[in-house]
Amino acid sequence: MCAIGISALAALENPALAAWLSGVGIATRTVDPQQAPARDEIRILSASEIRQATVRDILIEMATGAPSLRLAAKGLPATIRFGFEDMAFGLALVAELCRPAARPAVGEPESAIYLKLAEKVAGSDATVLVLGETGTGKEGVARFIHAASPRADKPFVAVNCAALPDTMLEAILFGHAKGAFTGAAGASEGLFRAAEGGTLLLDEIAEMPLPLQAKLLRAIQEREVLPVGATQPVKIDVRIIAAANRELATEVAEGRFRADLYWRLNVMPLALKPLKARRLDIRAITAALILRHTREGESVAWPTANALDRLMAHEWPGNVRELDNVVQRALLLRMGDRIEADDLAIEIMHHAAPALTVVPAPSVRGANLADVARASEMEAIRAALDAVGGKRLLAAARLGISERTLRYRLAEMRELAAA
Protein backbone atom coordinates (compact mmCIF):
# COMPACT_ATOMS: atom_id res chain seq x y z
CA MET A 1 0.00 0.00 0.00
CA CYS A 2 1.11 3.61 -0.54
CA ALA A 3 2.38 5.58 2.45
CA ILE A 4 -0.18 7.75 4.22
CA GLY A 5 0.75 11.42 4.27
CA ILE A 6 0.79 13.25 7.61
CA SER A 7 1.25 17.00 7.82
CA ALA A 8 3.88 18.33 10.23
CA LEU A 9 1.18 20.11 12.23
CA ALA A 10 -0.99 16.98 12.56
CA ALA A 11 2.07 15.01 13.70
CA LEU A 12 2.96 17.72 16.24
CA GLU A 13 -0.58 17.81 17.67
CA ASN A 14 -0.80 13.99 17.74
CA PRO A 15 2.66 12.65 18.72
CA ALA A 16 1.44 9.03 18.94
CA LEU A 17 -0.21 8.99 15.49
CA ALA A 18 2.69 8.04 13.21
CA ALA A 19 4.01 5.43 15.68
CA TRP A 20 0.55 3.87 16.00
CA LEU A 21 0.05 3.60 12.23
CA SER A 22 3.54 2.19 11.77
CA GLY A 23 2.88 -0.40 14.49
CA VAL A 24 -0.17 -1.72 12.64
CA GLY A 25 1.67 -1.89 9.33
CA ILE A 26 0.58 1.41 7.74
CA ALA A 27 3.56 3.37 6.41
CA THR A 28 3.54 7.14 6.75
CA ARG A 29 5.46 10.09 5.35
CA THR A 30 5.47 13.82 6.01
CA VAL A 31 3.60 15.95 3.47
CA ASP A 32 3.12 19.63 2.85
CA PRO A 33 -0.63 20.38 2.85
CA GLN A 34 0.00 23.34 0.55
CA GLN A 35 1.04 20.98 -2.24
CA ALA A 36 -1.62 19.14 -4.24
CA PRO A 37 -1.84 15.47 -3.20
CA ALA A 38 -1.09 12.66 -5.63
CA ARG A 39 -4.08 10.95 -7.18
CA ASP A 40 -5.91 8.72 -4.66
CA GLU A 41 -3.48 9.79 -1.90
CA ILE A 42 -4.84 9.86 1.64
CA ARG A 43 -3.47 12.56 3.93
CA ILE A 44 -3.98 13.19 7.63
CA LEU A 45 -4.12 16.92 8.34
CA SER A 46 -4.80 19.07 11.37
CA ALA A 47 -8.39 20.30 11.60
CA SER A 48 -7.00 23.82 11.23
CA GLU A 49 -5.73 22.87 7.76
CA ILE A 50 -9.21 22.32 6.37
CA ARG A 51 -8.66 24.85 3.56
CA GLN A 52 -5.98 22.62 2.05
CA ALA A 53 -7.97 19.38 2.48
CA THR A 54 -9.58 17.26 -0.23
CA VAL A 55 -12.47 14.83 0.22
CA ARG A 56 -9.97 11.94 0.52
CA ASP A 57 -8.16 13.52 3.47
CA ILE A 58 -8.73 12.98 7.19
CA LEU A 59 -8.87 16.00 9.49
CA ILE A 60 -7.91 15.27 13.08
CA GLU A 61 -8.46 17.41 16.17
CA MET A 62 -7.38 16.78 19.73
CA ALA A 63 -9.96 18.25 22.10
CA THR A 64 -11.65 17.42 25.38
CA GLY A 65 -15.32 16.52 25.53
CA ALA A 66 -17.39 14.00 23.61
CA PRO A 67 -15.49 12.37 20.73
CA SER A 68 -16.92 12.47 17.23
CA LEU A 69 -16.31 11.20 13.73
CA ARG A 70 -17.93 12.72 10.68
CA LEU A 71 -17.35 10.57 7.62
CA ALA A 72 -16.47 12.11 4.28
CA ALA A 73 -19.61 13.31 2.46
CA LYS A 74 -20.77 15.99 0.05
CA GLY A 75 -17.23 16.94 -0.91
CA LEU A 76 -16.10 17.39 2.70
CA PRO A 77 -13.28 15.31 4.21
CA ALA A 78 -13.68 12.98 7.18
CA THR A 79 -13.21 14.80 10.48
CA ILE A 80 -12.34 13.04 13.74
CA ARG A 81 -12.19 14.67 17.16
CA PHE A 82 -11.17 13.07 20.46
CA GLY A 83 -9.37 13.70 23.73
CA PHE A 84 -6.79 11.73 25.71
CA GLU A 85 -9.36 9.37 27.26
CA ASP A 86 -10.59 8.27 23.85
CA MET A 87 -7.21 8.34 22.10
CA ALA A 88 -6.83 4.55 21.80
CA PHE A 89 -10.09 4.11 19.93
CA GLY A 90 -9.61 7.37 18.03
CA LEU A 91 -6.31 6.13 16.62
CA ALA A 92 -7.95 2.80 15.77
CA LEU A 93 -10.60 4.68 13.79
CA VAL A 94 -7.95 6.72 11.99
CA ALA A 95 -6.17 3.50 11.01
CA GLU A 96 -9.48 2.07 9.82
CA LEU A 97 -10.13 5.11 7.63
CA CYS A 98 -6.66 4.63 6.08
CA ARG A 99 -6.88 0.85 5.67
CA PRO A 100 -7.19 -0.54 2.12
CA ALA A 101 -10.44 -2.47 1.70
CA ALA A 102 -8.77 -5.86 1.14
CA ARG A 103 -6.44 -5.59 4.13
CA PRO A 104 -7.75 -7.11 7.38
CA ALA A 105 -8.07 -4.74 10.34
CA VAL A 106 -5.26 -5.28 12.84
CA GLY A 107 -4.05 -3.53 15.97
CA GLU A 108 -1.32 -5.90 17.13
CA PRO A 109 2.21 -5.32 15.80
CA GLU A 110 2.51 -9.12 15.59
CA SER A 111 -0.61 -9.24 13.39
CA ALA A 112 0.90 -6.55 11.15
CA ILE A 113 4.01 -8.75 10.75
CA TYR A 114 1.71 -11.68 9.90
CA LEU A 115 0.10 -9.62 7.13
CA LYS A 116 3.52 -8.60 5.87
CA LEU A 117 4.40 -12.30 5.53
CA ALA A 118 1.08 -12.99 3.80
CA GLU A 119 1.78 -10.14 1.39
CA LYS A 120 5.20 -11.61 0.62
CA VAL A 121 3.64 -15.02 -0.01
CA ALA A 122 1.08 -13.38 -2.30
CA GLY A 123 3.81 -12.46 -4.75
CA SER A 124 4.39 -16.12 -5.57
CA ASP A 125 2.03 -18.80 -6.85
CA ALA A 126 2.72 -21.08 -3.87
CA THR A 127 -0.21 -22.98 -2.42
CA VAL A 128 -1.17 -21.57 1.00
CA LEU A 129 -2.69 -23.38 3.96
CA VAL A 130 -4.42 -21.04 6.44
CA LEU A 131 -5.11 -22.65 9.81
CA GLY A 132 -7.16 -21.22 12.66
CA GLU A 133 -10.26 -21.59 14.79
CA THR A 134 -13.66 -20.94 13.28
CA GLY A 135 -14.33 -17.21 13.03
CA THR A 136 -10.71 -16.02 13.24
CA GLY A 137 -10.76 -14.47 9.76
CA LYS A 138 -9.22 -17.12 7.50
CA GLU A 139 -11.23 -16.06 4.45
CA GLY A 140 -10.19 -12.44 5.05
CA VAL A 141 -6.54 -13.51 4.93
CA ALA A 142 -7.19 -15.47 1.73
CA ARG A 143 -8.83 -12.44 0.10
CA PHE A 144 -5.90 -10.27 1.20
CA ILE A 145 -3.41 -12.68 -0.40
CA HIS A 146 -5.42 -12.66 -3.62
CA ALA A 147 -5.68 -8.85 -3.65
CA ALA A 148 -1.93 -8.50 -3.09
CA SER A 149 -1.05 -11.03 -5.79
CA PRO A 150 -0.50 -10.64 -9.55
CA ARG A 151 -3.85 -12.42 -9.92
CA ALA A 152 -5.77 -9.59 -8.21
CA ASP A 153 -7.67 -8.62 -11.38
CA LYS A 154 -8.89 -12.20 -11.87
CA PRO A 155 -11.68 -14.02 -9.97
CA PHE A 156 -11.55 -14.94 -6.30
CA VAL A 157 -13.81 -17.92 -5.71
CA ALA A 158 -14.50 -19.38 -2.25
CA VAL A 159 -16.16 -22.70 -1.51
CA ASN A 160 -16.97 -24.13 1.91
CA CYS A 161 -16.31 -27.86 1.62
CA ALA A 162 -18.35 -28.55 4.77
CA ALA A 163 -21.46 -26.79 3.46
CA LEU A 164 -21.96 -28.91 0.33
CA PRO A 165 -23.27 -32.48 0.02
CA ASP A 166 -20.52 -35.03 -0.61
CA THR A 167 -22.38 -36.30 -3.67
CA MET A 168 -22.37 -32.86 -5.30
CA LEU A 169 -18.96 -31.57 -4.25
CA GLU A 170 -17.05 -33.19 -7.12
CA ALA A 171 -19.37 -31.73 -9.77
CA ILE A 172 -19.33 -28.33 -8.05
CA LEU A 173 -15.54 -28.24 -7.96
CA PHE A 174 -14.62 -29.86 -11.27
CA GLY A 175 -17.76 -29.29 -13.33
CA HIS A 176 -19.84 -31.85 -15.19
CA ALA A 177 -20.86 -32.77 -18.70
CA LYS A 178 -24.43 -32.57 -19.92
CA GLY A 179 -26.35 -35.65 -18.83
CA ALA A 180 -23.58 -36.76 -16.46
CA PHE A 181 -26.20 -37.49 -13.78
CA THR A 182 -29.92 -37.14 -13.21
CA GLY A 183 -30.86 -33.48 -13.42
CA ALA A 184 -27.72 -32.42 -15.34
CA ALA A 185 -29.69 -30.80 -18.17
CA GLY A 186 -26.65 -28.78 -19.20
CA ALA A 187 -22.91 -28.73 -18.70
CA SER A 188 -21.25 -26.81 -15.85
CA GLU A 189 -17.69 -25.52 -15.77
CA GLY A 190 -17.24 -25.96 -11.99
CA LEU A 191 -15.49 -23.68 -9.51
CA PHE A 192 -11.95 -24.52 -10.59
CA ARG A 193 -12.64 -23.19 -14.06
CA ALA A 194 -14.73 -20.31 -12.67
CA ALA A 195 -11.59 -19.19 -10.85
CA GLU A 196 -9.43 -19.44 -14.01
CA GLY A 197 -6.45 -17.11 -13.74
CA GLY A 198 -7.38 -16.20 -10.16
CA THR A 199 -7.61 -17.81 -6.74
CA LEU A 200 -9.73 -20.67 -5.41
CA LEU A 201 -10.26 -20.84 -1.64
CA LEU A 202 -11.08 -24.33 -0.38
CA ASP A 203 -12.46 -23.53 3.07
CA GLU A 204 -12.92 -26.26 5.69
CA ILE A 205 -10.72 -28.55 3.59
CA ALA A 206 -10.58 -31.08 6.45
CA GLU A 207 -14.24 -31.90 5.76
CA MET A 208 -13.57 -33.08 2.21
CA PRO A 209 -14.33 -36.82 1.81
CA LEU A 210 -11.29 -39.07 1.26
CA PRO A 211 -12.25 -40.26 -2.26
CA LEU A 212 -12.46 -36.67 -3.47
CA GLN A 213 -9.15 -35.79 -1.84
CA ALA A 214 -7.38 -38.03 -4.38
CA LYS A 215 -9.01 -36.17 -7.28
CA LEU A 216 -8.15 -32.83 -5.72
CA LEU A 217 -4.53 -33.92 -5.38
CA ARG A 218 -4.40 -34.82 -9.06
CA ALA A 219 -5.98 -31.50 -10.05
CA ILE A 220 -3.35 -29.57 -8.08
CA GLN A 221 -0.42 -31.70 -9.31
CA GLU A 222 -1.40 -31.89 -12.98
CA ARG A 223 -3.09 -28.48 -13.16
CA GLU A 224 -6.08 -30.01 -14.87
CA VAL A 225 -9.58 -31.18 -13.92
CA LEU A 226 -11.75 -33.94 -15.28
CA PRO A 227 -15.43 -32.86 -15.21
CA VAL A 228 -17.92 -35.51 -14.07
CA GLY A 229 -19.09 -37.47 -17.09
CA ALA A 230 -16.32 -36.08 -19.35
CA THR A 231 -13.57 -38.10 -21.03
CA GLN A 232 -10.99 -35.37 -21.57
CA PRO A 233 -9.34 -33.32 -18.81
CA VAL A 234 -9.32 -29.53 -18.97
CA LYS A 235 -6.20 -27.49 -18.22
CA ILE A 236 -6.53 -24.91 -15.44
CA ASP A 237 -4.50 -21.98 -14.13
CA VAL A 238 -5.63 -21.44 -10.55
CA ARG A 239 -3.87 -20.52 -7.32
CA ILE A 240 -5.07 -22.70 -4.43
CA ILE A 241 -5.56 -21.45 -0.87
CA ALA A 242 -6.87 -24.04 1.59
CA ALA A 243 -8.22 -23.28 5.06
CA ALA A 244 -9.01 -25.51 8.01
CA ASN A 245 -10.14 -25.08 11.60
CA ARG A 246 -8.47 -28.33 12.66
CA GLU A 247 -4.81 -29.29 12.62
CA LEU A 248 -4.40 -31.26 9.39
CA ALA A 249 -1.33 -33.11 10.66
CA THR A 250 -3.55 -34.64 13.35
CA GLU A 251 -6.19 -35.51 10.75
CA VAL A 252 -3.49 -37.29 8.71
CA ALA A 253 -2.27 -39.22 11.76
CA GLU A 254 -5.82 -40.39 12.47
CA GLY A 255 -6.48 -41.46 8.88
CA ARG A 256 -9.05 -38.80 8.02
CA PHE A 257 -6.88 -36.84 5.59
CA ARG A 258 -4.46 -37.98 2.90
CA ALA A 259 -0.82 -37.41 3.75
CA ASP A 260 0.14 -36.70 0.13
CA LEU A 261 -2.56 -34.04 -0.20
CA TYR A 262 -1.52 -32.52 3.12
CA TRP A 263 2.06 -32.08 1.93
CA ARG A 264 0.86 -30.68 -1.38
CA LEU A 265 -1.26 -28.07 0.44
CA ASN A 266 1.22 -27.29 3.20
CA VAL A 267 3.68 -25.40 1.00
CA MET A 268 3.19 -22.14 2.90
CA PRO A 269 1.31 -22.59 6.19
CA LEU A 270 -0.10 -19.48 7.88
CA ALA A 271 -1.59 -20.01 11.35
CA LEU A 272 -4.08 -17.48 12.72
CA LYS A 273 -4.20 -17.11 16.49
CA PRO A 274 -7.59 -16.97 18.22
CA LEU A 275 -8.92 -13.49 18.96
CA LYS A 276 -8.26 -13.82 22.71
CA ALA A 277 -4.53 -13.96 21.89
CA ARG A 278 -4.77 -10.77 19.79
CA ARG A 279 -6.06 -8.25 22.31
CA LEU A 280 -5.14 -5.11 20.36
CA ASP A 281 -6.79 -6.56 17.26
CA ILE A 282 -10.08 -6.50 19.20
CA ARG A 283 -9.97 -2.71 19.29
CA ALA A 284 -9.10 -2.43 15.58
CA ILE A 285 -11.76 -4.93 14.51
CA THR A 286 -14.36 -3.21 16.71
CA ALA A 287 -13.60 0.07 14.91
CA ALA A 288 -14.01 -1.68 11.55
CA LEU A 289 -17.31 -3.29 12.60
CA ILE A 290 -18.78 -0.07 13.99
CA LEU A 291 -18.05 1.73 10.73
CA ARG A 292 -19.44 -1.19 8.71
CA HIS A 293 -22.71 -1.21 10.65
CA THR A 294 -23.19 2.56 10.79
CA ARG A 295 -25.69 3.56 8.15
CA GLU A 296 -25.11 6.53 5.89
CA GLY A 297 -26.09 9.73 7.66
CA GLU A 298 -25.96 8.19 11.14
CA SER A 299 -23.51 9.45 13.75
CA VAL A 300 -20.73 7.03 14.68
CA ALA A 301 -21.22 5.56 18.17
CA TRP A 302 -17.95 5.52 20.12
CA PRO A 303 -17.45 2.90 22.84
CA THR A 304 -16.39 4.31 26.19
CA ALA A 305 -13.05 3.35 27.75
CA ASN A 306 -14.90 0.98 30.10
CA ALA A 307 -16.70 -0.67 27.18
CA LEU A 308 -13.39 -1.17 25.36
CA ASP A 309 -11.84 -2.68 28.49
CA ARG A 310 -14.73 -5.11 28.72
CA LEU A 311 -14.39 -6.10 25.07
CA MET A 312 -10.66 -6.67 25.40
CA ALA A 313 -11.06 -8.70 28.61
CA HIS A 314 -13.51 -11.22 27.10
CA GLU A 315 -12.21 -14.62 25.92
CA TRP A 316 -14.17 -14.58 22.62
CA PRO A 317 -14.79 -18.31 22.10
CA GLY A 318 -16.65 -17.38 18.89
CA ASN A 319 -13.78 -15.14 17.76
CA VAL A 320 -14.55 -12.35 15.26
CA ARG A 321 -18.05 -13.66 14.51
CA GLU A 322 -18.97 -13.37 18.19
CA LEU A 323 -17.45 -9.88 18.36
CA ASP A 324 -19.50 -8.87 15.31
CA ASN A 325 -22.69 -10.07 17.04
CA VAL A 326 -21.84 -8.13 20.20
CA VAL A 327 -21.09 -4.93 18.30
CA GLN A 328 -24.30 -5.12 16.26
CA ARG A 329 -26.38 -5.70 19.38
CA ALA A 330 -24.71 -2.83 21.21
CA LEU A 331 -25.38 -0.46 18.32
CA LEU A 332 -29.04 -1.48 18.32
CA LEU A 333 -29.66 -1.48 22.06
CA ARG A 334 -27.47 1.34 23.39
CA MET A 335 -29.41 3.82 25.46
CA GLY A 336 -27.24 6.88 24.75
CA ASP A 337 -24.99 8.33 22.08
CA ARG A 338 -22.07 6.14 23.15
CA ILE A 339 -21.67 2.40 23.66
CA GLU A 340 -21.40 1.82 27.40
CA ALA A 341 -20.07 -1.31 29.07
CA ASP A 342 -23.63 -2.19 30.11
CA ASP A 343 -24.71 -2.14 26.45
CA LEU A 344 -22.45 -5.12 25.68
CA ALA A 345 -24.47 -8.32 25.90
CA ILE A 346 -21.42 -10.56 26.10
CA GLU A 347 -22.12 -13.11 28.80
CA ILE A 348 -25.42 -14.37 27.35
CA MET A 349 -24.57 -14.73 23.67
CA HIS A 350 -26.50 -18.02 23.53
CA HIS A 351 -29.71 -16.00 23.85
CA ALA A 352 -31.20 -14.23 20.84
CA ALA A 353 -32.72 -11.48 23.00
CA PRO A 354 -30.77 -8.47 24.33
CA ALA A 355 -29.00 -8.52 27.67
CA LEU A 356 -31.98 -7.83 29.87
CA THR A 357 -32.92 -9.39 33.17
CA VAL A 358 -36.67 -9.65 32.82
CA VAL A 359 -38.68 -9.41 36.02
CA PRO A 360 -40.73 -12.63 36.32
CA ALA A 361 -44.45 -12.26 35.92
CA PRO A 362 -46.12 -12.23 39.34
CA SER A 363 -48.69 -14.85 40.15
CA VAL A 364 -52.21 -13.58 39.65
CA ARG A 365 -53.10 -14.24 43.26
CA GLY A 366 -51.99 -11.30 45.38
CA ALA A 367 -50.79 -9.21 42.45
CA ASN A 368 -52.28 -5.88 41.56
CA LEU A 369 -53.39 -5.09 38.03
CA ALA A 370 -50.47 -2.71 37.39
CA ASP A 371 -47.90 -5.40 38.23
CA VAL A 372 -49.60 -7.91 35.96
CA ALA A 373 -49.80 -5.38 33.11
CA ARG A 374 -46.14 -4.41 33.53
CA ALA A 375 -44.98 -8.02 33.55
CA SER A 376 -47.10 -8.81 30.48
CA GLU A 377 -45.66 -5.80 28.64
CA MET A 378 -42.11 -6.86 29.48
CA GLU A 379 -42.77 -10.38 28.30
CA ALA A 380 -44.25 -9.06 25.04
CA ILE A 381 -41.16 -6.89 24.45
CA ARG A 382 -38.83 -9.79 25.20
CA ALA A 383 -40.75 -12.07 22.84
CA ALA A 384 -40.73 -9.48 20.05
CA LEU A 385 -36.98 -8.94 20.35
CA ASP A 386 -36.50 -12.71 20.43
CA ALA A 387 -38.47 -13.08 17.22
CA VAL A 388 -36.40 -10.54 15.26
CA GLY A 389 -32.95 -11.38 16.61
CA GLY A 390 -32.71 -8.33 18.86
CA LYS A 391 -33.29 -5.76 16.08
CA ARG A 392 -34.97 -2.84 17.80
CA LEU A 393 -36.60 -1.27 14.73
CA LEU A 394 -38.23 -4.55 13.71
CA ALA A 395 -39.32 -5.29 17.28
CA ALA A 396 -40.97 -1.86 17.57
CA ALA A 397 -42.85 -2.43 14.32
CA ARG A 398 -43.95 -5.85 15.57
CA LEU A 399 -45.23 -4.31 18.81
CA GLY A 400 -46.96 -1.43 17.01
CA ILE A 401 -44.97 1.26 18.84
CA SER A 402 -42.24 3.70 17.82
CA GLU A 403 -38.57 2.86 18.28
CA ARG A 404 -38.30 5.75 20.73
CA THR A 405 -41.09 4.31 22.89
CA LEU A 406 -39.37 0.92 22.80
CA ARG A 407 -36.12 2.50 24.00
CA TYR A 408 -37.95 4.07 26.94
CA ARG A 409 -39.54 0.71 27.81
CA LEU A 410 -36.13 -1.01 27.66
CA ALA A 411 -34.66 1.64 29.96
CA GLU A 412 -37.49 1.07 32.45
CA MET A 413 -36.90 -2.67 32.30
CA ARG A 414 -33.22 -2.20 33.09
CA GLU A 415 -34.02 0.09 36.02
CA LEU A 416 -36.44 -2.50 37.42
CA ALA A 417 -33.89 -5.26 36.96
CA ALA A 418 -31.24 -3.21 38.78
CA ALA A 419 -33.55 -2.24 41.66
pLDDT digits (tens, 9 = 90+) for 94-129: 999 999 889 999 999 999 999 999 999 999 999 999
First and final C-alpha spacing in the chain: 54
pLDDT on residue 42: 93
pLDDT exceeds 80 at position 33: yes
Residues 6+ apart with CB under 8 A from 404: none
CB burial readout 356-366, b (16+ within 10 A) else e? beeeeeeeeee
From-to residues of CATH 1.10.10 in the chain: 369-418
The CATH number, out of the four listed (1.10.3470, 2.40.128, 1.10.10, 2.30.30), of the domain defined by the range 369-418 = 1.10.10
Q: Identify the DSSP state of 382.
A: H
pLDDT on residue 320: 95
pLDDT on residue 356: 40
Radius of gyration in angstroms for the set of CA atoms belonging to the chain, rounded to a whole number: 26
pLDDT on residue 190: 83
From-to residues of CATH 1.10.8.60 in the chain: 4-106+278-343
Give the CA distances from residue 206 to residues 42, 101, 247, 313, in Å, rounded to whole numbers and listed in that order: 42, 29, 9, 31
pLDDT on residue 373: 56
183-196: per-residue pLDDT in tens? 555 567 789 889 99
320-375: per-residue pLDDT in tens? 999 999 999 999 989 899 999 999 988 654 444 344 443 444 443 444 445 555 66
pLDDT average, residue stretch 167-173: 82
From-to residues of CATH 3.40.50.300 in the chain: 109-271
- Identify which has the larger pLDDT, 367 or 150: 150
pLDDT on residue 231: 76
pLDDT on residue 409: 76
Percent of the chain with pLDDT over 70: 85
Lowest mean pLDDT segment, chosen from 131-135, 318-322, 331-335, 396-400: 396-400
pLDDT on residue 376: 63
Nearest Cα to Cα of residue 107 among 115, 294, 271, 317:
115
pLDDT on residue 233: 85
**What confidence tier does 416 reach under pLDDT thresholds 50, 70, 90?**
low
pLDDT average, residue stretch 69-77: 91
pLDDT exceeds 50 at position 35: yes
CATH (residue range 4-106+278-343) = 1.10.8.60
* Residues paired with residue 79 on neighbouring β-strands, in sequence order: 59, 70
pLDDT exceeds 80 at position 379: no
pLDDT average, residue stretch 396-409: 68
The fourth-level CATH superfamily of domain 109-271 is P-loop containing nucleotide triphosphate hydrolases (3.40.50.300)
pLDDT on residue 362: 43
* Residues paired with residue 45 on neighbouring β-strands, in sequence order: 59
What is the C-alpha separation between 214 and 176, in angstroms, rounded? 18
Q: How many CB atoms lie within 10 A of CB 270?
A: 20
What is the C-alpha separation between 289 and 273, in angstroms, rounded? 19
